[in-house]
Every structure is written in C-alpha cells, then in structure tokens.
Chains A and B, each alone.
Chain A
C-alpha cells in the first residue's frame, strides 16, 4: 500500500514537476550561497571555488583564541592598512588593492565594528579603522556594555519592550559567554546559514503541493468510493497515506538539506565548527551559547520540525476539506503570516509573532532575535519554545490527519 501511495504522488505530472522544481530550488540555493569573490594583489576580482580557497587560506592565518594579543595585532594591521596610500587614494583600483590586503582580517574587522559600535544597534564598517591597539582589552566587555546601555536607555524601545526579569536574563546570557573565545574562518557555515531559509522555504512549499494530493487525490479522481469500501479503506490504507506523507517530507527535506550542506561546505570548507557562533559577526549578538556546529544542528532540525508541521497541516486540511486548494495555500500563508502581523502594533501579537512557524525554517535568524517569554515566571528565549511547541503540535497532527481522513464523506 505504502509503495503505491508514493507511486501515486510521483506518477503524476505534477509530482514530476515538483521534483524538477526542488532540483531548481536546490541549484539556485547552492549557486547563491557560492556567490563569492577574492580580490588579488592587483585589485582584480577572482570568482569561483578557487577564489573561495584563497580567501580561506588568508583568513585561516588568524584562527585561534581571539585574545587581547590577537585583537591588538588585528587592530594594528587594520589601522596601518587604512593609512596606506592605496587605501587613502581616490582611485578605485588602488582602493581595491587595499581591500585585497584587508581580506585576511575581514572577519575580525566585522567583530571589532560590532564591539566598538557607538551603540547596540548601529554598525559602522569603518569603525575598526579608528581604533587603537590599546582598546583591544575592552573588546568582550563592550559587548555587554552596549547591551546594558541599550536596555537602560529610556529613549529606546528596548527599555519598554522588556521586563526587568527579561533584561536581567539578557544581560546574564551576555555575561556568561565564555571569553576569550576561539575564532576561525567560518565562511562555509555562515554562507550555508545565509541561504538555508531559501532552501527550507522553497522545500516546504513544494512539499505542501506534493503531500496534499495524497489525500485530496482520491476525491479529485473520484477514487474515494472504491478506497473507502475496501477492507483497509478506513484503517491501514489511511495509515499508509499518512506514512507516505511523512516519509516523503522526511526524505525530500533531508535530501535537500544534505545536498545543499555538502555542496556549500565542500565549496568553502567546514572550518570553525567548534567556535561559538558569536565568533562570526552575523551572530555576534546571539544570546544563546552554542557553537557553530550546534547552530547547524538547530538550524536543520528546526527546519525539519517546521517542514513536518507545515506539511502535517497541509495533510490535515486536504484530508478534512477534501480539496487541494486551501491546503496548497497553507505554506504561503504560514510563511508570510509574520509580514501580515507586523502591520499591527500590539504586545500580544508581537509575542505571538515570535512563535510563528516560519521561524523554524530560518533558525539562523531566529537565534539572533531577542524574543523572550516568561512561562511560569522563568524567562526563556523563543527557540526552545518553538521546538517544544511545534514538536508537540506535529505529534498531535499525525493522528488527527488519520482520524480526519478515515471518516470519508458522509453525505
């Protein structure tokens, strides 16, 4: 039974088109993640995997514990480079040569810009050029200081947005980050994370289309009468459908993520897996204490739970409405739900927005959000809640789909 359910999905032209779309989405994701360049000694841009490798070789030189000594060296190098005639020149070509020389410290420069920003929410690309090596000692303390200033600034929105307990929680998280942390070239991971939401969202939309036919197809083809009048039509054959849906979601999702990850990491290298995520400028403000490797696990399992939940909902709708239309729309609605909610300005809705299921499909971004909840008086971030909430909802959905479908239509 199970085998034929799978066959039904992919025997249709629509099923084959969906596979093609998946392949296109994967190719597009890989292509965008692999879009990089390296500026050589002459100030010319080089592209492709070779460029990525040269950049890696350069930046690897700075890997290791990011202590005061290393920061001082980096500040020295960045400021010295900024003072060279090439950097000062009005000529673009000369500037490019200077940029090329700065590529080695590019990652640390980003972190310095973050740490020495004028305030928590500002980022100035040239900030690092105006530092002195003596300031290196303030690097980690600044991360905490900027947060504290932001939270206590009465003119800012954070002051009103967070309760005292939440503010204390945020500061505690920042204060307990182990420093100095180890730094490495992490382009493989950061680029992977950057385009992961594209992969997850396109996958879930196409999956929605694939799995809804499992249930609405019987009605669409008017094959439901024979189905439900068969011996297993109200139990095992329905279970086979649910199973086929789950297997398709699982197989397609992990194939997409596996191929995408393998490609991007092979392209850039998988260095930096054990660095804390804060060692990459994009995640400098992250309030969770996790390594890049742990972040990868959260990103892909979050995406899997999100895919399962959304596909489960699609299956439920197509099983109970007996039509594919509402079901196919579901992923779009869920993914853009927050954009609609954003238009309103209410505290409750803001809290609800922090728990929208699309956040699971973009864990890399979600991990950087300061969405906090206080269930039972204890402050926690949105991430564990998202996992628990949608894990539980998905577990509930599976038997619900089964029950909704086996009823058939009694009219």
Chain B
C-alpha cells in the first residue's frame, strides 16, 4: 500500500499550482496544511484522477493511477472542498446512488449506508431532501459518501469546514477510528484538526511541500524560538511590525505577547513550548485559521 508522487507538477496557463511535489504516502493520517491558494485542492484533484499532472507521475504500488483507472478509483474515497450533490435527492437516495457508481452491491450499499449515517449522526435525516440539510449536515453526508466503499485511500479536502466544534471533535474521533489500515489525506487551515490525529503533517506553500514530519518533529524544530513577553500597550504596534506575533493578550495597560523568533524579542522574554500554530506562523508568516473564529 503505497501512493507515490514523483515530481508532480500542475500548471494552469500561467499559474504553477503544484510544483515538483515528491512524497510517498503509506498507511496513516496525513494532514495537509497550507494557506489559501497553496495548491492543496489541486494536488488532491490529481490524486483523485480528476486532473492530470502537467509533469511527474503518481503511482499506486508502482502502477500509474491514470492507467489503473477504475481499479484505482475503486479504492478511493473523496470529499471535494466544493462538495456538490443532487438537491432533490434524499440523503438515502444520494448515498445509494454514490454506492452504485462506486460499484457496491445493493445489500452492501444498504448496510454501509445504515452504519455511516449512524456514525455521522444523520440517521434521523435519511429521508430528508439534501437541499433541506444545514451546511454542516451536508458536509457530514459528504464524509459518509467518501467512506461508502471502505476506501484504502481517503482524500478529504477541508472536511471540517462548516462543522460546529462538537461535530469537529466527533469527526476527529471518527477519523482516528477509521484511519487504521488506510491512507487518509486531509487538508485544512485549522491546525487543531490535524494536531492530534495526523501521523504526519505536510506543510504546503506556493505549490510545494516545504516541510513534513510529525507534530512533535515540527514543533521540536522551534524549541527556543517561541517567547512570551510583556510590553506596554503602546509598543504592541512595533512588535507586530518586527516579529511574527502569534497572540496578543491585554492585561491592565500591558500586553502579553507570544512571539516566534530565533532570538528573544526582549530581555525579559521567556521561552515557551512551541505548538503547531507557532510552526504554521513561522513558515507562512500568517496565522493559521482558527476553529472558533465565529464563536
């Protein structure tokens, strides 16, 4: 079980969406982290045989995935970022239809549908029309359809977008439960989605995978590079300009800053334990998406 990308490149007219990506995925959960436009979706669409790379190859156990065709797609589960469905189908009909085009036998389709609807907490909505579902519920149907064929390769493009915090935790747990013996690749802006469940985190920037490793490996690289210091409120602006500031907390006229920097930003700065958020900030120069932005 080995999905190998060699020098994979995709160019859209003048944009290099993905550039020379080489990476081998084996059983486990991979978190693909990157800012908007980093090329995550493009890479995933290639892995799903939806678009062909302009350069390089993608192989499954040594065979080109485009040549394998249906044999490869048989093992594939895909949740697109822009997940669309048939609005007038009920949840059940939708899943039965996807099961059919995935080549599942009707009895298997029924069993899988029952089980997955339970797992994503939509058993009650099975006879609802898809268009009547809330955004998060649609996403959950999307996750269910990706899992229908019990895929060896599960590709989820921002699966947690639109899920409420409770659902997000449920999803995380569901995924760790399902991750055994398959390749799971999920993209996200949200660090906490992958922090605990991903065996390996791939940081993608401008079409390239700039860094990869376990959460511990990535954070270890920033040991002695994350600092907490306190400064008067009027100096916060200067800090924001000169440093990568992960967090600002105001405390009675003073501000407590969390700063990622190889050198201590101030004499009284104390080193703190780096988190994946800090890594994200360090490499992308901007903050990762936050799961509770809207709360």
Instruction: Determine the residue in chain B with the shortest Cβ distance to A11.
Output: B88
Does residue B69 face the partner (Cβ distance < 8 Å to A)?
yes
Interface-facing stretch out of A77-85, A122-130, A216-224, A333-341: A216-224
Within 229-259 of A, Cβ neighbours of B (below 8 Å) are at 229-237
Contact assessment for B78 and A229 in the assembled complex, using a CB-CB cutoff below 8 Å? yes
Instruction: Determine the residue in chain A with the shortest Cβ distance to B78.
Output: A229
Pick from A217, A233, A237 the residue with the most CB of B within 10 Å: A233
Residues of B within 8 A of A235 (CB): 70
- Specify which of B49, B78, B103 is in contact with A226 (CB 8 Å cutoff): B78
Does residue B73 face the partner (Cβ distance < 8 Å to A)?
yes
Does residue A293 face the partner (Cβ distance < 8 Å to B)?
no
Contact assessment for A223 and B73 in the assembled complex, using a CB-CB cutoff below 8 Å? no
Instruction: Determine the residue in chain A with the shortest Cβ distance to B131.
Output: A221
Residues of B within 8 A of A236 (CB): 101, 103
Query: Which residues of B pack against A, CB within 8 Å?
Result: 12, 45, 48-52, 69-70, 73-74, 76, 78, 80, 82-89, 93, 96-98, 100-103, 145, 149
Does residue A227 face the partner (Cβ distance < 8 Å to B)?
yes
Q: How far is the CA of A186 from the CA of B267 in the complex (A)?
A: 109
Closest 5 CB pairs of A and B: A222-B84, A11-B88, A225-B80, A4-B97, A237-B101
Contact assessment for B48 and A222 in the assembled complex, using a CB-CB cutoff below 8 Å? no
Contact assessment for B73 and A230 in the assembled complex, using a CB-CB cutoff below 8 Å? yes
Instruction: Determine the residue in chain A with the shortest Cβ distance to B97.
Output: A4
Q: Do A232 and B50 contact each other (CB < 8 Å), given the known contacts A11-B86, A221-B87?
A: no
Q: How far is the CA of A8 from the CA of B80 in the complex (A)?
A: 21
| Main DSSP-derived SS at the B contact region | loop
Contact assessment for A231 and B101 in the assembled complex, using a CB-CB cutoff below 8 Å? yes
Query: Which residues of A pack against B, CB within 8 Å?
Result: 1, 4, 7-8, 11-13, 217, 221-237, 408, 410-411
Could you tell me the distance in whole angstroms from the C-beta of B133 to the nearest C-beta in chain A?
14
Contact assessment for B48 and A229 in the assembled complex, using a CB-CB cutoff below 8 Å? yes
Contact assessment for B45 and A227 in the assembled complex, using a CB-CB cutoff below 8 Å? no
Contact assessment for A221 and B86 in the assembled complex, using a CB-CB cutoff below 8 Å? yes
Contact assessment for B50 and A229 in the assembled complex, using a CB-CB cutoff below 8 Å? yes
Could you tell me the distance in whole angstroms from the C-beta of B60 to the nearest C-beta in chain A?
14
Residues of B within 8 A of A411 (CB): 12, 51
Contact assessment for A221 and B69 in the assembled complex, using a CB-CB cutoff below 8 Å? no
Contact assessment for A232 and B52 in the assembled complex, using a CB-CB cutoff below 8 Å? no
Instruction: Determine the residue in chain A with the shortest Cβ distance to B155.
Output: A229
Q: How far is the CA of A411 from the CA of B42 in the complex (A)?
A: 10
Could you tell me the distance in whole angstroms from the C-beta of B209 to the nearest C-beta in chain A?
22
Instruction: Determine the residue in chain A with the shortest Cβ distance to B130.
Output: A221
Residues of B within 8 A of A234 (CB): 69-70, 73
Contact assessment for B52 and A7 in the assembled complex, using a CB-CB cutoff below 8 Å? no
Query: What are some 8 contacts across the A-B interface (CB < 8 A)?
Result: A8-B86, A11-B86, A12-B88, A222-B83, A226-B78, A226-B145, A231-B101, A234-B70
